[in-house]
Amino acid sequence: MADINIPQNIFLIIIAVIAVVTIIIIVMQWRRVREAQSNVEFLQKQAELKKIELVDKDLGAKRMMENVLPLPQEQQEKLGQIRGETSKLMHKTGFLHGEINERVTRLEALNEYEKLQKLLIEIEKREKDVEKKSKRKGGL
């Protein structure tokens, strides 16, 4: 077999190149990990600030609800009437919507029925034509 002798200097250079490449790869990976960690920390701080903001808004809304001034009796009655009328209108709207849907369904069915009637008439005409042709052929 061929005996390959690598001079000592070339061997050390190859080992040095491999070591440098390895160190470069390690440094790049370490930098990526550090960036990812800083991104995670940043996102955690943002989430915490958002939570604080939401709690602050909730407390503000709660304070507003506690500070609601009671309406005079007359305005409360008017508000009750408005709510009652709104409820009636919503029910009436729902009923009318149901009626409209039912009528649309009927119209669609009627339209389909008319199409089928026309198709039946055409089929009957064709049957008569076919019978006439078959009688002629049979008679000849």
Can you give the pLDDT at residue 1?
44
pTM for this predicted structure: 0.38
Summarised one tens digit per residue, pLDDT across range 105-140 is: 999 999 999 999 999 999 999 999 999 888 887 655
Whether 79 and 71 have beta carbons less than 8 Å apart is answered as yes
- All residue ranges of the chain with pLDDT < 50 are 1-2
Can you give the pLDDT at residue 68?
65
* Percentage with pLDDT > 70 across the chain: 92
Nearest to 71 by CA among 84, 62, 80, 61: 80
Whether 78 and 71 have beta carbons less than 8 Å apart is answered as no
What distance in Å separates the CA atoms of residue 140 and residue 134, rounded to the nearest whole number? 10
Nearest to 29 by CA among 18, 40, 17, 37: 37
- Domain locations in the chain? 8-65, 80-140
Can you give the pLDDT at residue 140?
54
Number of alpha carbons in the 13 Å side-chain half-sphere of residue 85: 6
Can you give the pLDDT at residue 111?
94
